[in-house]
Amino acid sequence: MNTFFNNGKMLFATSYREDEITCLKAVKPPHILASFAMWRNDKEDKHLQHNLLDRIGYRPETLYIDCGSFTFKDTDYGLWEMINTYQEMREEDGFTFNIHDDQDLVMFSHWWFSQFDEDAYVEDKSQFNLFEQYLNFLWMNRGLYDYCFAFDRLGDNQESLLAFRIMDALGLPVIPVYQATYFQVNKEGQQQLVPNTLDYDILDYYAAKCDYIAIGGTAASKVKGFTKNIRIEIVNNILSKYQDKSFHLLGTLDPYIINACPNLYSVDGQAWLQKVEKEKKISASIKYLNNKLAWFESKRNQDIYANNQGQLQFII
């Protein structure tokens, strides 16, 4: 049986902070995630060769990049404005533009980003929208990463789909992100996070086009009523629906969730940096990383089977 523990990946997310770099250099985890939100500031984007790989002193087996959508939340990505601007230009020239037509979107994507002014970006990146900034970050670091995640919008599969289609049209090694939850207001007027099965047609689209798909929207661990078991049920429902696909679960290194979702291919998380006194942070975080990797390897060395609930059982 194909399980997470016999061929999966556990990614450790990092920024360019010195304490995180020191920990990675000491432990050398094989799989790393660099989140765009943590590798940018108002004036510049950090280059992964100089600010990550050279500093940690090794080349990870795989390096992923994601956008960090949880950080940006309701910030305007600029995607719809780009589309509307292009559509108006096409119509003024006597042509039509159909956003649902893949060939039209390919033409838009290549035209729009062929106009990208690198000198203007270096001078003042604030004049470019977030999506353009993300793609410039990917372009700047081309050849250094293995996969990038689509610039997803939490709870919004339409905008997440559009971002994926543009990135795919540009030939990026992009993994689509399916938003598996959304917020709705309950009878008491409170927001609650609920499973999203309404957009399974978008998930069907991803599954028809890709072998590797990410599941987003389940990492909100502090939302009232949104328990680990609900998160597990959401993930396993998706995994059972597309058994021939590989899935990445965004935003968790929780062993309880990983154990309960045996058919995941990969996971990631930033919770490895320990929240302790400053003088103990490095040693505690190094210990955590080593323990997490040792736990992962110990599971590889056990006989594994799935029980009737789809959860992993181990025989030593």
Q: What is the pLDDT along the chain (316 residues), one digit of tens a residue?
A: 457 888 899 999 999 999 999 999 999 999 999 999 999 888 888 999 999 999 999 999 999 999 998 888 888 999 999 999 999 999 999 999 999 999 999 999 999 999 999 899 989 999 999 999 999 999 999 999 999 999 999 889 999 999 999 999 999 999 999 999 988 877 777 778 889 999 999 999 999 999 999 999 998 767 788 899 999 999 999 999 999 999 999 999 999 999 999 999 999 998 787 776 777 889 999 999 999 999 998 887 775 554 545 444 544 3
Name 218's Cβ contacts closer than 8 Å, sequence gap at least 6: 180, 181, 231, 234, 235, 249, 250, 251, 252
Helices 130-140 and 79-92: crossing angle in degrees, nearest 10, is 100
Does the predicted TM-score (pTM) go above 0.75?
Answer: yes
Q: Is the CB of residue 264 less than 8 Å from the CB of residue 5? A: no
pLDDT of residue 300: 78
56 Cα distance to chain centroid: 22
pLDDT of residue 8: 92
Closest CA to 48 of 61, 31, 67, 33: 33
Tell me how far apart the alpha carbons of residues 56 and 48 are, in angstroms, rounded to a whole number.
11
pLDDT of residue 251: 92
Residue 126 per-residue DSSP state? G
Q: How far is CA 142 from CA 111, 123, 145, 247, 252, in A?
A: 20, 21, 7, 23, 26
Domain boundaries, the chain: 4-315
Say whether domain 4-315 belongs to CATH 3.20.20.150. no
Q: Fill in the amino acid letter for 17.
A: R
Residue 53 per-residue DSSP state? I
The token pair at 280 is 């103990």
